[in-house]
Chain A
């Protein structure tokens, strides 16, 4: 168990560029979550997967945001045509089954800066 890994840790991009972040959950965890945390705020839920199925995506912030988990293992979060307001920390978490019973494990996040 090496924890939840996120890559890259930091990303600086120019406005209008596309960015993709990767999350590797704990290997036996079947649920994977993405959250966004802006400066001085608590994390806000974006989307989650159970295995490869994306079961909730209505809270993705706009149609520029998309996420995949093609084989039920790692996941990617893509932001197209980035805007300065997208600058934030993007956190991934995973859990085994019902997270209220087993709890979430969070990664260290990817900090995005859009210039």
Chain B
């Protein structure tokens, strides 16, 4: 069965610091997809990135970057020069190609607090 673990429940940083959110996953499927979502206080889940299991290239989007390593089953997310607006709960999620309707299995989330 699939599982996603986000070991860091809460992280607090000062603005402009870099911060890395860890994600470790388990799956028996060879084809799967990994996601990161942001959940601000308003509650809506905001899509950040999707990665498929055959693409291990790291990705950078502005201040955000993602490091996907199949060898360690990890998909970590780094925010460079954090800002107060980055404060939110961040979820890592997994979808298996063989899963029901491509359902998402979420980790427990990491609450990021960026202080001015």
List A residues at the B interface (Cβ < 8 Å): 31, 33, 35, 40-45, 48, 50, 55-56, 59, 89, 91, 93, 98-100, 103-109, 111
Contacts and interface: CB of A to CB of B under 8 A. Distances in A.
Contacts of B91: 42-43
Which 5 A-B residue pairings sit nearest by Cβ, starting from the closest? A42-B106, A56-B100, A106-B45, A48-B101, A45-B103
Contact of B102 (A43, A44, A99): A99
Nearest to B109: A42
B83 to A, nearest CB: 23
Contacts of A109: 43-44
A89 B89 CA distance: 15
B90 to A, nearest CB: 10
A109 B39 CA distance: 11
A48 B95 CA distance: 14
Interface string B95-116: 1010011111111110000000
Given A42-B108, A48-B101, A104-B104, 19 more contacts: A31-B101, A33-B101, A33-B103, A40-B108, A40-B109, A42-B6, A42-B93, A43-B106, A45-B104, A45-B105, A59-B100, A59-B103, A93-B45, A100-B95, A100-B97, A100-B102, A105-B47, A107-B44, A108-B43
A44 B106 contact: yes
B72 interface: no
Contacts of A33: 101, 103
Mostly, the B contact residues are: mixed
B71 interface: no
A106 B43 CA distance: 10
Interface in B7-55: 33, 37, 42-45, 47, 50, 52
Interface of B: 4, 6, 33, 37, 42-45, 47, 50, 52, 91, 93, 95, 97, 100-109
Given A33-B101, A42-B106, A55-B100, A100 B50 contact: yes
Nearest to A103: B47
A103 B50 contact: yes
Given A89-B43, A103-B47, A106-B44, A41 B108 contact: yes
Contacts of B42: 108
